[in-house]
A and B are shown apart, each in its own frame.
Chain A
Amino acid sequence: MKIINIYLLNAALLFSGATALAQKQTPPTGGEPRNFTLPAKQEFTLPNGLQATMVPYGEIPKVTVSLIVQVGNVHETEKENGLADITGQLMREGTTNLNAKQIAEQAARMGGSVDISVGSNQTTISGSVLSEYGPELVKLLADLVQHPAFPPSEIERIKNDFKRSMNLARSQPGTQADTKFRMAIYKGHPYGRDLPTDAQIDAFTVEQVRDFYQRQFGAQRTGVYVAGKFEGSAMRQAITSALSEWQQGPPPRIEIAQPVTKPDMLLLDRPGAPQSTLIIGLPTIDPSHPDYTKLRVMNSLLGGSFGSRITRNIRENKGYTYSPHSTIAPRYRVADWSEQADVTTEHTGNSLKEIVNEIDRLQKEAPSPEELKGIQNYVAGIFVLQNSSPGGIINQLNFLDLHGLPDTYLTNQVQAIHAVTPQEVKDLTKKYIRPEDMTTVVVGDKKVITPQIKKFQAEIKKRAL
């Protein structure tokens, strides 16, 4: 029986914290790193401007196909808030050849389903099926994107579902905080719009949907991505024959936002909430900026990984939260950095203070070479993982296409990650992560947290002196 173990636990019990232990063993270091090469891709462009990229990956007999069109909420006018979503949802309800049920049945026979998701910059129409059905899936997705019927019989139901899901979103503290934050940072731009209201959704008509589709969709804005196990020549042929006739449509265009940098404290009352949901952040550089990869490394060290400083502090040391993390959210030619966490109500002010303390510490003192090396290895390891699944590969390639980045962005990634110096991390924090310029959103029990917030604001003021 575990004699040693019992002794150890007893020691822990007796000297809580100060365990007098024998010499610790160090972990074996492991072998030489294996070579990782990005999966090879095959690219071609159709005469109408549609771009295709195919990447064979793995042996599991499935293939993923994504048609990604550069149309999203960013293409809506102020009066069209949510129209891109309704268009995407209604697209799934039938083509001039198939009704919704037939689409679902066809996809199921291939061992898959058709998913349409609408984001701020792009609409993605995708499916993942057993390998032998790859060409058929291309045909089905191509039918959806080129010949949507937009059946009037279905629009009321689709609007109703959309209202319900927006309603649900509005009741979640995370979405409330995120929406408030976006509205502050991207004021006056589609990125900064509120969630569509019932009245806005109710007002949409099938004519509007058709008009939006005609104005926005087309081959020039579309990329088709294939990843997984498939027969290359058959897939190429399927893409060429199914998508060559599509209208060229408008060229890609996204109105670039002008983000607002403004120190501000926005409170949303959630009476009786056991936690406060907080976001603190500011606009930052986007993926086309030469500092972007360096900033990602800095972010992983500061708050973007489990071993990061902020997480160690407010979770593993103080227990204020379970789910803290900092992210750089790239939009198009703009981005924002933020730390987000759901924290114990009683420690709302303390959590904000500790977040700022960690930023200050990194601004004042460069990390040790060991700490930075560890984070660089982590970010490089994540990069390998991101390129180790069909979905991940498609995400990576689409990222390049959306942000207009060269292939070297990926091929030099590991090298770029390892090139950052401790001094640069410190300088980047000072340059880009400035607490005095941050917008803070807190969703919580106003009555309880207001005094804490006031105290925190006073401390921030003092800090600037």
Chain B
Amino acid sequence: MLKTILLPQKLRLACSAFGFSTMLLLGACSQKTISSATPTPPTTPETAAFSPKTTYQIPVDYYTLDNGLKVVLSPDKTTPIVTVAAYYNIGFRNEPKDRTGFAHLFEHMMFQGSQNLGKMEFIQLIQKNGGVLNGSTRFDFTNYFEIVPANKLETILWAEADRMRGLNITQENLKNQQEVVKNEVKVNVLNQPYGGFPWLDMPQYANKNWFNAHNFYGDLKDLDAANLDDVKSFFKTFYSPNNAALIVSGDFDPTQAKTWVKQYFGAIPSADLPAKVDLTEPRQEKEQRFVKDDKLATKPALAFAYHMPDRNTPEYYAMGLLDQILIQGNDSRLYQALVQEKGYTGSVSGGINSGLGNMFNYNGPMLWDGNLIHDNNVTADSIIAVIDREIKKLETSGIDQALLDLAIVKMRSSFYDQISQLYGFGKADLLASFALFDNNPARINTLESEFRKVTPELMQKTLREYLRPTNRTILTVNPLAKS
């Protein structure tokens, strides 16, 4: 019939969160894939014994061009394909106040023409060379990526450099993409039951700082108001090599790749970057609750969100493990309680940056959240009581080493899934995030050891400070449609 239905936008977002296109690939959204740093696999199953401590190392060659462009090379000979990803350190949080949705609209403009590639020519170039492409806008970056046959690396580097050098956009192209983006908002939000719930709504309710708390997809009138001057100044402000990272992963020769990167990107001038926006959120001291009317939904829904510890602190890693224990997988405390035991719902989904990424690819305040759709005869309070009970249980009985170890196994496994996503694009995504935000893409190989440093005591401390009811926002959907 239908596979277990998640929230509809989840399905779409898996394919393209705030993205340029839904047409990247055929088949499932989150294709699992595998890549490696060793030669082509043998033709018969090998007979090596596995130790439970098998560690998987990702090659990371990191350097910066004179113009400030960060470059990461990560060779992998599993399949004769290469991934090229250009990440710009500008996400939807940072867009101008009178132009909600502009960072994402601009992302669309990056496909509309550069000096040597007219409208549609970039897309046609990738396709006719046997590749796929997409772009997306997230909290703290906008990305553009291509996955192509290995022998086409130079072609793609040339093309990606062409649009980093400058755009060539007409009023007609802008108008066209304004219409396309408005249709994107309609199909993903306005014409869907639970549209925007909770991924687009929750930040607006939970956060206090406008940069973290506005409508990232954009009000339709703001989208209409955008003009060519906006496009021009946005590009000039944010789209320079010293505000970007370029990732090449897959089957390529690093020496050759370095030559091409220098040849095509080396001469693009850097720019003065604007001062960093203050993204800080005040400490939340009181629980807040909100209700959203939904005229297309037939059943009530509930979402909860807690402010996260700062990225890369010991508590942040502890929170990653709490996420595994509480909400990830069918063995998780909340699934067992809300689904298996109480029967309030068929599935609970959520996590860290769950609607628009993962726990690694953002750089600022973030939420840990969860959501479920339930029946009319179940009250929001009874759901919240269960959540409180489960968190309380962890607090009173403590988290022992055995439970920590289980969380680490789950974390390791989901990390491998993450780097496998979309033919290894997931690996490029993490490398880009770590280059842009931490200036250290090699972090990708030390994440496991960071999680292993977490102690039962730290778990307790993190739970008490961050999973307190006064640190949370509850959002419920009031369904107005007839079943």
Q: Contact residues of A with B, CB < 8 Å?
A: 1-2, 4-6, 8-9, 11-13, 16-17, 19, 21, 24-36, 39-40, 42, 54, 56-62, 64, 73, 82, 84-85, 100-101, 103-105, 107-114, 117-120, 128-132, 156-157, 160-162, 164-165, 167-173, 175, 195-196, 228-233, 235, 270, 273-275, 277, 305-307, 311-312, 315-323, 325, 342-344, 373-375, 377-378, 380-382, 384-386, 388-392, 395
Min distance, Cβ B95 to any Cβ of chain A, angstroms: 19
- Please state if B175 and A319 are interface contacts (CB–CB under 8 Å): yes
Chain B residues touching A, majority SS: loop
- CB of B184 within 8 A of chain A? yes
Q: A108–B411 Cα gap in the complex (Å)?
A: 10
> At the interface, yes or no: B153 with Cβ under 8 Å from chain A?
yes
In the bound complex, CA of A6 to CA of B182 (Å): 28
Q: Report which of B1, B236, B417 forms a contact with A84, defined as CB distance below 8 A.
A: B1
Beyond A128-B32, A130-B412, 15 extra complex contacts between A and B, CB < 8 Å: A17-B172, A24-B116, A59-B41, A104-B331, A108-B330, A130-B52, A169-B2, A233-B45, A306-B23, A306-B133, A307-B124, A318-B176, A378-B131, A385-B423, A388-B79
Residue in chain B with minimal CB distance to A10: B232
Report the minimum CB–CB distance from A343 to chain B (whole Å).
7
Least CB distance from A276 to B in Å reads 9
Assuming the contacts A30-B152, A172-B8, asked whether A12 and B25 have C-beta atoms less than 8 A apart, the reply is no
Q: Counting CB contacts under 8 A, is B27 at the interface?
A: yes
List chain A residues, Cβ under 8 A from B81: 384-385, 388
B398 interface residue per 8 A CB criterion: no
A-B pairs with lowest CB-CB distance, top 4: A232-B45, A381-B130, A59-B36, A319-B179
Indicate if the CB atoms of B228 and A132 lie closer than 8 Å: no
Q: CB distance B481 to A275 under 8 Å?
A: no
On whether A54 and B45 interact (CB within 8 A), knowing A131-B54, A132-B54, the answer reads yes
Selected from A9, A61, A374, the residue in CB contact (under 8 A) with B416 is A61
What's the least CB distance linking A388 to chain B, in Å?
A: 4
Chain A neighbourhood of B8, CB < 8 A: 168, 172
CB distance from A399 to the nearest CB of B (A): 10
Contact in complex: A60, B116 (CB < 8 Å):
no
- A13 neighbours in B (Cβ, 8 Å): 171, 228-229, 232
Which of B48, B128, B183 meets A322, CB within 8 Å? B183
CA distance A39 to B419 in the complex (A): 20
Q: Are A60 and B56 in contact (CB under 8 A)?
A: yes
Query: What CA separation (Å) do A275 and B192 show in the bound complex?
Result: 10
The stretch of B291-299, B314-322, B358-366, B458-466 that contacts the partner chain: B291-299
- Complex: how many Å from CA A16 to CA B173? 9
| Complex: chain B residue closest to A377, CB-CB | B130
Q: How far is the CA of A2 from the CA of B268 in the complex (A)?
A: 8
Rounded to whole Å, the gap between the CB of A329 and the closest CB of chain B is 11
Partner of A307, one of B2, B52, B123, B331: B123
Q: Is the CB of A231 within 8 A of B186?
A: no
Contact B130 A344 (CB under 8 A): no
- Whole-angstrom CA separation of A73 from B35 in the bound complex: 36
Q: How far is the CA of A381 from the CA of B132 in the complex (A)?
A: 8
Whether B343 is near chain A, meaning CB under 8 Å from some CB there, is yes
Asked if B128 and A377 make an inter-chain contact with CB atoms under 8 angstroms apart, the answer reads yes
Main secondary structure of the interface of A (DSSP, over half): mixed
Verify if B137 is at the interface (C-beta below 8 Å from A).
no
Contact status A172-B193, CB under 8 Å: yes
The CA-CA distance from A84 to B132 in the complex, in Å, is: 36
Q: Which residues of A contact B423 (CB under 8 A)?
A: 385, 388-389
B388 adjacent to chain A (CB < 8 Å): no
Q: CB distance A8 to B166 under 8 Å?
A: yes
Check B191 against A165 for contact (C-beta < 8 Å).
no
Q: Is the CB of B32 within 8 A of A320?
A: no
Q: Does B273 contact A (CB under 8 A)?
A: no
Closest Cβ of chain B: how far from A30's Cβ, in Å?
4
Q: Which of B1-21 contact A (CB under 8 A)?
A: 1-5, 8, 21
- Residues of chain B within 8 A (CB-CB) of A395 are 27
A39 near B41 with CB under 8 A, answer yes
Checking B79, B179, B420, B483 against A320 with a beta-carbon cut-off of 8 angstroms, the contacting residue is: B179
> Which chain A residues lie closer than 8 Å to B4 at the CB level?
117, 165
Residue B383 is within 8 A (CB to CB) of chain A in the complex: no
* Segment from B154-162, B205-213, B431-439 that makes contact with A: B154-162
CB distance A306 to B271 under 8 Å? no
The interface residues of chain B lying within 8 Å CB-to-CB of A25 are 116
Residues of B within 8 A of A172 (CB): 8, 192-193
Would you call B159 and A27 a contact (CB within 8 A)? yes
Expressed in whole angstroms, the Cα–Cα distance for A316 and B330 within the complex equals: 42
In the bound assembly, the distance between CA atoms of A368 and B395 in angstroms comes to 68
Chain B, 96-155, CB within 8 A of any chain A CB: 115-117, 119-120, 123-125, 127-133, 147-155
Report the minimal beta-carbon distance from B367 to chain A, rounded to whole angstroms: 24
Smallest CB separation, B410 vs chain A (Å): 6
| B413 adjacent to A112 (CB under 8 Å) | yes
Which of A1, A110, A380 gathers most chain B CB within 10 Å? A1
Q: Is the CB of B155 within 8 A of A316?
A: no
Q: Establish whether residues B31 and A9, one from each chain, have CB atoms under 8 Å apart when the complex forms.
A: no
Interchain CA distance A280-B344 in the complex, whole Å:
39
Residues of A within 8 A of B236 (CB): 2, 5-6
Does B177 have its Cβ within 8 Å of any Cβ on chain A?
yes
Which of A195, A196, A274, A377 contacts B190, CB < 8 Å?
A274
Q: Are B124's CB and A2's CB within 8 A? A: no
Instruction: Please tell me if the beta carbons of B331 and A58 are within 8 angstroms of each other in the complex.
Output: no
Residues of A within 8 A of B48 (CB): 231
Please tell me if B28 contacts chain A, counting CB pairs below 8 Å: yes
* A62→B416 contact, CB < 8 A: yes
* Minimum C-beta distance from A4 to chain B (A): 6
Residue pairs across A and B with Cβ atoms less than 8 A apart, 5 shown, are A33-B80, A62-B413, A162-B346, A164-B373, A165-B346
| Interfacial residues of chain B within 53-79, with CB under 8 A of chain A in the complex | 54, 56, 78-79
Q: Give the complex CA separation of A112 and B251 in angstroms.
A: 29
Supposing A2-B166, A30-B155, A108-B410 touch, asked if A168 and B23 sit within 8 A by C-beta, the answer is no
A391 touches B31 (CB 8 A): yes
Residues of A contacting B56 in the complex (Cβ-Cβ under 8 angstroms): 59-61
> CB within 8 Å of A: which of B328-351?
329-331, 335-336, 339-340, 343, 345-346
Q: Chain B's nearest CB lies how many Å from the CB of A228?
A: 6
Is the pair A325, B180 in contact by a Cβ cutoff of 8 Å? no
Closest to B42 in A: A56
Query: In the complex, what distance in Å separates the CA atom of A30 from the CA atom of B146?
Result: 15
Say which residue of A85, A167, A231, A325 sits within 8 Å of B298 (CB atoms).
Answer: A167
Q: A16-B172, A129-B413, A384-B79 are in contact. Are A40 and B43 (CB under 8 A)?
A: yes
Q: Which residues of B contact A103 (CB under 8 A)?
A: 330
User: A110 — which chain B residues lie within 8 A by C-beta?
Assistant: 409, 413
A34 and B180 within 8 A (CB): no
A104 and B32 within 8 A (CB): no
State whether B375 touches A164 (Cβ < 8 A). yes
- Beyond A9-B167, A316-B119, is A168–B172 a contact (Cβ under 8 Å)? no
B191 touches A132 (CB 8 A): no
A354 to chain B, nearest CB (A): 14
Cα distance, A378 to B128, chains bound together (Å): 6
Report Cα–Cα, A12/B420, bound state, in Å.
Answer: 41
The answer to whether A342 touches B128, judged by C-beta atoms less than 8 angstroms apart, is no
Asked, given contacts A28-B155, A59-B35, A132-B51, whether A82 binds B1 with beta carbons under 8 Å apart, the answer is yes
Question: How many Å from the CB of A35 to the closest CB on chain B?
Answer: 7
Task: Give the chain A neighbours of B27 by CB distance below 8 A.
Answer: 386, 392, 395
Q: Contact between A33 and B151 (Cβ–Cβ < 8 Å)?
A: yes
Within 8 A of A (CB), among B442-483: 481, 483
CA distance A173 to B49 in the complex (A): 51
Residues of B within 8 A of A54 (CB): 45
Query: What is the distance, in angstroms, from A273's C-beta to the closest C-beta of chain B?
Result: 6
Q: Give A322 to B19 CA distance when docked, in angstroms.
A: 10
Q: Is the CB of A388 within 8 A of B177?
A: no
| Known contacts A171-B193, A275-B186, A388-B81; A60/B50 CB under 8 A | no
Q: How far is the CA of A129 from the CA of B170 in the complex (A)?
A: 50
Per-position binary interface string of chain B over residues 226-269, scored 1 when its CB falls under 8 Å from any chain A CB and 0 otherwise = 00110110011000000000000001000000000000000001
